[in-house]
Amino acid sequence: MNKTWWKESVIYQIYPRSFNDSNGDGIGDLKGITEKLDYLKELGIDVIWLSPVYQSPNDDNGYDISDYQNIMDEFGTMKDWEELLAEVHARGMKLIMDLVVNHSSDEHAWFAESRKSKDNPYRDYYVWRPGKDGVEPNNWESAFSGSVWEYDQATEEYFLHIFSKKQPDLNWESPELRNEVYKMMTWWLDKGIDGFRMDVINFISKVPGLPDAPNQEGKQYVSGGEYFMNGPRIHEFLYEMNQEVLSKYDIITVGEMPGATVDDAKLYTGDDREELNMVFTFEHMDLDSGLNGKWDLKPLDLLDLKENITKWQVGLNGVGWNSLYLNNHDQPRMVSRFGNDKEYRVESAKMLATFLHMLQGTPYVYQGEEIGMTNVKFDSIDDYQDIEIRNMYRDKVIQGNEDHDKVMESIYVKGRDNARTPFQWDESENAGFTSGKPWLKINHNYKDINAKLAVADSDSIYHYYRRLIELRKKNSIIVYGEYELIMAEHQQIFAFTRTYENEKLLVITNFSGEEVMCDLPNDIVVSEDKLMISNYKEATNSTGASFTLRPYEARVYKFNSL
Ligand code: NOJ
């Protein structure tokens, strides 16, 4: 397996709006990030990924970009950004930027031109179609509810928007558009950035003809995913992007890819393919959803998680590379979702961190994860800011006839604002995030859960992450070791081994709040002196092949010879 720095890195995701506000306007900003770089360096972070900081009307918090080469006013200036980059580099860390080129904002200059007339030179930068029988050109549903089509009076045609109607899809069939994007990427890389996280990048090639999706139940709109995820020209486009831009720099590239399977990922990330370094799969994020999508709540079955993680670990081993994550700005908080954010918050957050950081791949830490930040429950729908939540609530409750309480429950469990509440720095007003009024309410638990407390307590989740990251730096096996699932049928324990050269790791994690018996396979016998890290301070008698694990207990053993 090829060794590279980006396989050995730990990446920290910053959602700038919610990280740290330096000027009291209630919105996080670039100077605020620069102020906190030492905190990240202390944690051991190698690479920082910034969610979008470009100019944007903020219909989708910066994922709707109106100028790719300027900074959002609320976040500061290009000078602030340059200073941030310099300070990141001065600390030996790297910075990767979000690349959002499946769509732009409708306030982008290209779109302003494109909508003017059918023969405008920019017309082709977007996807325009005439209506069909007086309605939208097809029946696809937008990720943010309603149709993917918006009618535009000026030319009496519809434009495509898989996300909000202020996020028109760019037309990658246009060579001019592709060149503009490559030019813009090169401009950022020449400014010294260290790579890109690419927003829904597997959506950029659509099936020609944009056919209606099957619709047995006769719904108004249905998901058209099969016609725009991993579409017919996707590998051609990514290879071209690689040849034109990426291959000229020593950088990290990670593609966000809903609907990508392991087989797709082999093609996207394969060593010999010259496309991307790694992808964000969504498969493990979908295991607790029912047939009707993310708001259709379903308890997670640990066996499903094992099967899925194992498929990716085994599938990409030696072929491509995994990115490892359990939450981000689009997902609920990991400890609330997969652990227990009440009596076992600390134990379960550490257990989940152990689990993730001991898999093969590059781990991503989402801001606040390292101090065990939790989901929120706002009483009123008006307290939520996320366009996905607001549109869904409007469609289901205000315009539809679904039950308010049921819909609120699904927002409490799955809503994206769970991850977007401001970072909890300390116990002062507004959690030290801002001296003004925060753009989104602070989680009420900030007096107990904050970075100041975490840094001061050597037994905190924060320091546990620091240790995990340190171990990765000292043990190649954590990065490169081959994964094998053991105890596959156990309902509460997720256990696996990693093997590399003459070493072996044994990772045992209890995903339940119960005490459970752990009976190891016959060939494995553990002893305390082999323990590398664990999330309970006091040892128990765990020598031998059979012992009890405490609630959410996690242990990693290292053996020197096979
Ligand atoms: C994925 C991003 O992570 C999400 O926040 C955004 O809403 C959509 N792509 C659209 O850009």
Domain ranges of the chain: 11-101+175-467, 109-160, 482-560
Residue 272 burial (10 A CB sphere; 0-12, 13-18, 19+): exposed
Q: Is 403 labeled as catalytic in the residue annotation?
A: no
State yes or no: pLDDT of 220 exceeds 90.
yes
Q: If you average pLDDT over every residue of the chain, what do you get?
A: 97
State the pLDDT at residue 297. 98
State the pLDDT at residue 499. 97
Ligand 1 atom closest to residue 100's alpha carbon, by position in its atom list: 11
Ligand 1 atom closest to residue 144's alpha carbon, by position in its atom list: 7
Ligand 1 atom closest to residue 330's alpha carbon, by position in its atom list: 5
**Residue nearest ligand 1's atom 5 by CA:** 330
- CA–centroid distance for 123 within its chain: 32
Q: Is 199 labeled as catalytic in the residue annotation?
A: yes
**Ligand 1 contacts CB of residue 68 (under 6 A):** no
**Ligand 1 contacts CB of residue 63 (under 6 A):** yes
Give 234-265 pLDDT, tens digit per residue. Answer: 999 999 999 999 999 999 999 999 999 999 99
Give the gyration radius of the chain's Cα atoms.
Answer: 24
Is residue 431 helix, strand or coil?
A: helix
State the pLDDT at residue 541. 64
**Ligand 1 contacts CB of residue 60 (under 6 A):** yes
**Residue nearest ligand 1's atom 8 by CA:** 63
Angstrom distance (rounded) from CA 131 to CA 29: 42
As a whole number, mean pLDDT of residues 526-550 equals 86
Residue 389 burial (10 A CB sphere; 0-12, 13-18, 19+): buried
State the pLDDT at residue 562. 57
* pLDDT band with cut points at 50, 70 and 90 for residue 412: very high
Angstrom distance (rounded) from CA 444 to CA 425: 13
Cβ atoms 421, 385 nearer than 8 A: no
As a whole number, mean pLDDT of residues 21-42 equals 98
**Ligand 1 contacts CB of residue 100 (under 6 A):** yes
DSSP state, residue 345: H
State the pLDDT at residue 435. 98
* pLDDT band with cut points at 50, 70 and 90 for residue 524: confident
- In 10 A of CB 55, how many CB atoms? 21
Q: Lowest mean pLDDT: which of 120-129, 487-496, 514-523?
A: 514-523
| Ligand 1 site-directed mutation target among 14, 50, 59, 100, most atoms within 8 Å of CB | 100
As a whole number, mean pLDDT of residues 157-176 equals 98
As a whole number, mean pLDDT of residues 527-544 equals 84
* pLDDT band with cut points at 50, 70 and 90 for residue 560: confident
Ligand 1 atom closest to residue 328's alpha carbon, by position in its atom list: 3
What is the 332 CA–ligand 1 centroid distance (Å)? 14
Bridge partners for 157 per DSSP:
152
State the pLDDT at residue 527. 87
Q: Lowest mean pLDDT: which of 13-22, 128-137, 476-485, 518-527?
A: 518-527
Class of domain 109-160: alpha beta
State the pLDDT at residue 525. 85
**Ligand 1 contacts CB of residue 160 (under 6 A):** no
Which of 60, 256, 288, 388 is catalytic? The answer is 256
Cβ atoms 202, 101 nearer than 8 A: no
Return phi, psi of residue 160, to 5°: -85, 135
**Ligand 1 contacts CB of residue 480 (under 6 A):** no
Cβ atoms 433, 424 nearer than 8 A: yes
Angstrom distance (rounded) from CA 291 to CA 286: 10
As a whole number, mean pLDDT of residues 156-183 equals 98
Angstrom distance (rounded) from CA 494 to CA 487: 8
Return phi, psi of residue 13, to 5°: -95, 130
What is the 65 CA–ligand 1 centroid distance (Å)? 12
| Ligand 1 site-directed mutation target among 164, 257, 330, most atoms within 8 Å of CB | 330
Whether pTM > 0.95 for this model: the answer is yes
Bridge partners for 290 per DSSP:
293
- CA angle centred on 328, ends 64 and 467, rounded to 5°: 140
Ligand 1 atom closest to residue 388's alpha carbon, by position in its atom list: 7
Which of 141, 194, 199, 264 is catalytic? The answer is 199
**Ligand 1 contacts CB of residue 163 (under 6 A):** yes
What is the 525 CA–ligand 1 centroid distance (Å)? 46
| CA torsion, ordered 462, 468, 472, 475, to nearest 10 deg | 150
Domains 109-160 and 482-560 share a fold: no
State the pLDDT at residue 523. 81
Q: So what's the architecture of 11-101+175-467 in CATH?
A: Alpha-Beta Barrel (3.20)
Q: Which CATH number fits domain 482-560: 3.30.1240.10, 3.40.50.970, 2.60.40.1180, 3.40.50.2300?
A: 2.60.40.1180
What string of DSSP letters covers 197-261?
Answer: EETTGGGSSPPTT-PPPP-TT--S-B--GGGTTT-TTHHHHHHHHHHHTGGGS--EEEEE-TT--
Angstrom distance (rounded) from CA 378 to CA 243: 47
Six token digits for residue 90: 């001065």
